[in-house]
Structure 1
Amino acid sequence: MRVQDVHETAVGALWNLVFNPGNALRMVEEEGVPALVHLCSSSRSKMARFMAALALAYMFDGRMDEVAVGLSSVENNGRTVSLEAARKLALRNIDAFVQTFFDPQSLTAAASSWAGATLNQVAEPPQSKKPGI
């Protein structure tokens, strides 16, 4: 199995887990945010980076806060895990991931490597229509 396939499978499983706010909180407690950040920023698989960014976004969309109810940190085996620090780390890396697509060359490369025609339309500048055509 290729490393990219392993990354995609692992991130896919984590992505499914974070839809449950309790699981998302548990991932923060067990230091899963740095693992997702690492995959988001360094995997050779574009799909794994994309899914890691989405998983981080779902983790910190506000639903986990309801489970944590007023806790600013969670005790984890004698260590204190700061939810706010984990949130900042996640959001900083989601932003870095998104920023890579503001470079037109990166966007074109991503478009041509993912879903062909559909994403290429996004990467190509709009063409003005001439009257009568």
Structure 2
Amino acid sequence: MMRDTEKTIGNLIDKVSVSIISSVDNDGFPNSKAMLPPRKREGIKYIYLTTNTSSMRVKQYLDNPKACVYFYDKRFFRGIMLKGTMEVLEDSESKEMIWRDGDELYYPGGVTDPDYCVLKFTAQSGRYYSNFKSEDLIIE
């Protein structure tokens, strides 16, 4: 993948106000959900989000780690779909890494709240749409 493309996609991800994540349910059907933007990313290979440990999505990722994330820029009508796997992280180092002031609103018990966890998405491939054309990507 070209470095410029990765930089452009990274900038798009950094500016979104909504993330769409998808999991696979027990019947093999995709399930999608709007989420807050990622808390952290390492290039476009690793993306970190927060969620409730008790959520349906966490159970689905534990049963089947196949995942998809989608980010879009409605102003310029472009988007990136990334396919890969989702890990559910509950260790204190991961939780502290992406904790922010104000998260107590969602997790009243603070950073150690048992209903707070980190989703770590690892991208393997993707498809980027911009300027009326699509480009397949392999993420290394």
Question: Shared fold by TM > 0.5?
Answer: no
Structure with bigger strand share is 2
Greater Rg over alpha carbons, structure: 1
Normalised by the size of structure 1, how large is the TM-score? 0.30
Which protein, 1 or 2, shows the higher relative CO under an 8 Å CA cutoff with sep ≥ 6?
Answer: 2
